[in-house]
Structure 1
Amino acid sequence: MPETDRTNEPRPTERAGVTRRPELVVVGSLNTDLSARVSRHPRPGETVAGSPLSMTPGGKGANQAVAAARLGARVSIIGRVGDDNHAGELLRGLRDDNVDTTHVRTTPDTSTGTAMITVSDDGENSIVVSAAANDEVSGDDVRRAVDHIGSARVVSLVPEIPVAALHTAALIAREHATRVVLNLSPVIDVDDELLRLADPLIVNEHEARQLWRGPDGAAAEASTLAREVLRLGPRSVVVTRGAHGAVIATPEATTEIPAVPTEAVDTTGAGDAFAAALCWRLVEGDTMTTSARWAAHVSALTIGHHGSQPSYPAQEALSVPGFDE
């Protein structure tokens, strides 16, 4: 069981095993993933048999942090865990992947977030999330990490935590000229100021339709969705399309990113891998288009394996010549 942080003071960096300031700061959730495979997802009121339950580290924030760290970025994460045994496993896993956990706080008398996942034979997943400690992430938690956000090149904001924490992180990033990536999955209510700071805003097609709410949103093509979401205020938009790739919209152009053909085994965490790889390449100074092409490649590698974090590749696994524009 991890030490309970009753003083609410930041943990020393040495506990995270990190000696350099991060290039990428992720503000988001940390969960334990409880997963079972099923032949198909149950209908309402129906019970189906599943495989033995597996337990792996997860949470959209932790997933992005681990995926980016394995690709070679120096990463710090801001978030919360509970005071249970799951927290210790999550923190050890993050540190083993060289993610700085200095600003992960432990919330007393609270459980760590949990995601209950079923994966069907076609690789599609259904997820129910219990936020638990993730609901306690605050603006004060983020302000304590101003040194990390201020020194980073990119801060990635991931829902499943209170929007006030995301907004605080975005404002600090603006003060320090740190690029803000907002992965609005799931879609939550955010104010216009936060949207205007996103560069890019990342959503999938379903989430883009939720944001637009236009008369033809259900039937609109991805390129149209991306342009309409761009009109909401973000500096750029990336709409991910699963097996169909992605679309980038900027004030100057709309660009389609082809998917990398892969047989899907498990799509859990693929969107997090895409966002992480995009952030990694933006940290390295790539253009949005090149970054998204790398992200599509990394995402394709992950869906060929089971689980989210267990499926994320190391940089050495990537071999794609000709990505320079």
Structure 2
Amino acid sequence: MTATEYLLIGHITRDLTPHGDEPGGTVTYSGRAVAALGSHTAVLTSYAPDFTGSQVLAGLHVHNVPAAATTTFENVYTPHGRVQTVHATAATLTPDHLPEAWGEPAIVHLAPVVHEVDARFIHHFPRSLLCLTPQGWLREWGEDGRVHPREWPEAQVILACADVVVLSQEDLPDIATLWRYWEWCKLLVLTGGAKGCLVLQGETAVRIPTITVPQVDPTGAGDIFATAYFIRYHQTGDAIEAAHFANFIAAHSVTQSGIDAVTEAVKQAAKQYEIKR
């Protein structure tokens, strides 16, 4: 792959943690994973001028749509589960924001974390492999910022246009939603962390187990899985081979903590995978 063949569209985020502010969002972990797998990526995103966390994307081709605020999340873990709050959002991203020089990349990854990705993007790249991680379209929040699952009214139209969709079990409110999405998608992959993934294509469902590793930090593993899957599927056209590869890469990513260490783990895992084949 060349440096501009993988286009990511979505917000980099400011994540409030007990240890301080950290950069996050799918574009952060996916963007760095693309680099670790042998290519840079183009990133269309939006953040405030004073957001220093954007330095995590250094070395990637980034086009920022300036905003008054950076999309900001806070996650609080309680005995009853995670409580997620949105404190601020950056600008909406539209096809008009795309630099002409980027052309039509081989892979386009729509990666909303709030509702920032304009749905018109699904018709903008007719010759690209159109890939989705639609978690941001599956959530809503009120005036207090508290995040809740929502019905996704545009789901059928958007999913039917995508070539590959990767979702986490946590993204889905119930099993009935999974069945509907499966019907609408050309290729749907449901991730389950240490349980591996489920590949749903046509009338076929195949469970692909992953390897057992000592987990240090699972942050970003789902994003890394998705990116590895999209790249391998583009290379091979094989939905099952792509799942084995993505499982292997994502598993190694959780053995480290911190974006730099995780990126290096992804790079080394890709080398190991090719050797063991």
1:130 aligns with 2:84: no
Counterpart CA distance in 1 for 2:218 and 2:89 is 24
Match of 2:64 in 1: 104
Which of the residues 187, 209, 218 maps onto 1:258? Answer: 209
1:172 aligns with 2:130: no
Match of 2:111 in 1: 158
Do the aligned partners of residues 163 and 129 (structure 1) sit closer, same or farther apart at CA in structure 2, a change above 3 Å counting? closer
Match of 1:145 in 2: 99
Do the aligned partners of residues 128 and 261 (structure 1) sit closer, same or farther apart at CA in structure 2, a change above 3 Å counting? farther
Runs of 4+ displaced beyond 6 Å? none
Match of 2:135 in 1: 185
Match of 1:82 in 2: 48
Shift of 1:321: 4.9
Counterpart CA distance in 2 for 1:302 and 1:118 is 23
Counterpart CA distance in 2 for 1:273 and 1:71 is 10
Shift of 1:115: 2.9
**1:145 counterpart letter in structure 2:** P
Shift of 1:112: 1.7
SS at structure 2 position matched to 1:81 = coil
Match of 1:203 in 2: 167
SS at structure 2 position matched to 1:74 = coil
CA contact (8 A) 2:94 2:121 kept: no
Q: State the superposition RMSD in angstroms.
A: 2.8
Match of 1:58 in 2: 24
Q: Which has the larger radius of gyration?
A: 1
Counterpart CA distance in 1 for 2:170 and 2:122 is 24
Counterpart CA distance in 2 for 1:244 and 1:314 is 19
Runs of 5+ in structure 1 lacking a partner? Answer: 1-19, 37-52, 214-224
CA contact (8 A) 1:181 1:198 kept: yes
SS at structure 1 position matched to 2:217 = coil
Shift of 1:266: 1.9
Shift of 1:136: 3.1
Equivalent residues, number = 258
Do the aligned partners of residues 126 and 246 (structure 1) sit closer, same or farther apart at CA in structure 2, a change above 3 Å counting? farther
Match of 1:304 in 2: 255
Q: Which has the higher contact order (CA 8 A, sep 6+)?
A: 1
Q: TM-score, normalised by structure 2?
A: 0.81
Match of 1:115 in 2: 73
1:94 aligns with 2:57: yes
Shift of 1:130: 3.4
